[in-house]
Structure 1
Amino acid sequence: MTGAQLALDLPFRPALGAADFVVSDSNRDAVAWLDRWPDWPGRVLAIHGPAGCGKTHLAHVWQARSSAQFLTTADASVLPHRASVILEEIGDMVLPQEKQVALFHFLNRLREQEGYLLLLSQVAPARWPATLPDLASRLAAIPAIAVAAPDDKLLSAILIKHFADRQLTVSDDVINFLTRHIERSFAAAAQSVAAVDRAALSSRRRVTLPLVREIIGRDSDMDQDA
């Protein structure tokens, strides 16, 4: 391959058993709060932000430290003493009354059992459309940290890492082009690199800017047709 990797002054840190994790301005506050664990007010923390901003990645970082388990519903019966749990995307729409009651009891049980909870959602818990007053009050008291969509430095670093994982070294022009033209999300970075790698293998071409232009343009045309 020709070209050198893009040099970025970004701190890479191990994700404690998960993939390498990159800290940038878009997620720095959330990382700092995760580092404070177990010193969380009320033993609960919420991380919120748009889809694809890396919330789940952050949760896996914390899971490796805390041995937390992911839950799909607020079920108080699965909370042993001092349990650490992660609830994802449960409050972004109006919850039925019975689910609001279940979540309220879940939070009470968590407090009784001295457990820890990481909530992940697109909006802060204080803005969840809870109609149960006691639950709304409890949600408003949860510390909520925003994670923004990846900035240019973070998105570039993620792209470089995905190419490196595939043992590909690409030029600065390729990284810069992708950073400007793909959706600003972790998922889009992974999907774009995978698409470029497949195209390079199938056509037996090197990963160059002309190839990347072809692939990204092709994907954009497919999105418009859809």
Structure 2
Amino acid sequence: MQGTDLGPQLPLALRYPPDQRFESFIGPPQGALAALGALATTPGADWVYLAGPSRTGKTHLALALCAATEQQHRRAAYLPMAAAAGRLRDALDALEGNDVVALDGIEVIAGTREDEVALFDFHNRARASGLNVLYTARGIPDDIGLELPDLRSRLQQCLRVMLDPLDEAGRRDVLRERAQRRGLVLEDAALEWLLTRTDRDLGTLVALLDRLDRASLAAQRRVTVPFLRSVL
């Protein structure tokens, strides 16, 4: 996060891990990266509402947006809404002065009137000031439990991008790409073993890949099926 009292300001590399960039996102919907890229580079670009189930890459794209914005020497802030629930007005007030703000997981404030009103007020101020905003949520505005009709109406005016869970080929591509970035040698047989014998949730698979990377380095071994059996 940047510019809030919810945590210390961190170096770019720590705020926005290198795995979480536009170019490393597998299977984006048509036009999604162009719309997000416009937010990063162009004042007054169409705001984006990014919706999709858990583990579909919403946080990846939110952090990638912030990284891309700062690469343009513009100011960006990322706010996980779960960290600000119950005191959202103060957190949002602290974000003013940025060029781009990514608000990740707005469904967590649904049903809390004070937070909903704070988000509505922020939305209006941000529009007036020319701030670019990305919202992410697990569903469209009408489906996440928001009780303030005016807030739902404002959110519905954003450009909507829907993310779907990756199919098996997509999960395979993500694991292969992440392994290559780490310099991890992941044999095809080992990749298939992972996909058929472990939880196929993408977040779990990526966390498992991190574990295998550490184990492989410690043992100085390639990631083969026998190695997977011994580690898992």
For the aligned pair, the TM-score class normalised by the smaller chain equals 0.7 to 0.9
Aligned amino acid, residue 69 of structure 1: A
Contact 1:53 1:185 in 2 (8 A): no
Cα distance 1:41–1:201, how it changes in 2: closer, same or farther (>3 A)? closer
Whole-angstrom distance in 2 between the partners of 1:53 and 1:209: 27
Whole-angstrom distance in 2 between the partners of 1:177 and 1:148: 24
The 3-state SS of whatever aligns with 1:70 is strand
Residues 47-73 of structure 1, C-alpha deviations (whole Å, 9 max, x = no match): 122222221111122112323201244
Alignment equivalent of 2:51, drawn from 48, 52, 65: 48
The 3-state SS of whatever aligns with 1:47 is strand
1:146: Cα distance to partner? Answer: 1.2
Question: In the alignment, does 2:65 pair up with 1:62?
Answer: yes
Contact 1:30 1:47 in 2 (8 A): no
Question: In the alignment, does 2:116 pair up with 1:100?
Answer: yes
- Structure 1: give runs of 5+ residues left out of the alignment: 1-15, 219-226
Whole-angstrom distance in 2 between the partners of 1:54 and 1:189: 13
- Structure 2: give runs of 5+ residues left out of the alignment: 1-15, 70-74
The total of aligned residue pairs comes to 201
Residues 157-212 of structure 1, C-alpha deviations (whole Å, 9 max, x = no match): 32223333443312211112223344444422322223334444566654211332
Which one scores higher on RCO, CA 8 angstroms, separation ≥ 6?
A: 1
TM-score (norm 2): 0.71
Q: Percent identity?
A: 26
Whole-angstrom distance in 1 between the partners of 2:94 and 2:218: 48
Cα distance 1:23–1:204, how it changes in 2: closer, same or farther (>3 A)? closer
Query: RMSD in angstroms over aligned alpha carbons?
Result: 3.1
Whole-angstrom distance in 2 between the partners of 1:42 and 1:206: 46
The 3-state SS of whatever aligns with 1:145 is strand
TM-score (norm 1): 0.72
Higher CA-based Rg: 1
**Partner of 2:103 in structure 1?**
87
**Partner of 1:130 in structure 2?**
146
Whole-angstrom distance in 2 between the partners of 1:96 and 1:134: 14
Contact 2:110 2:116 in 1 (8 A): no
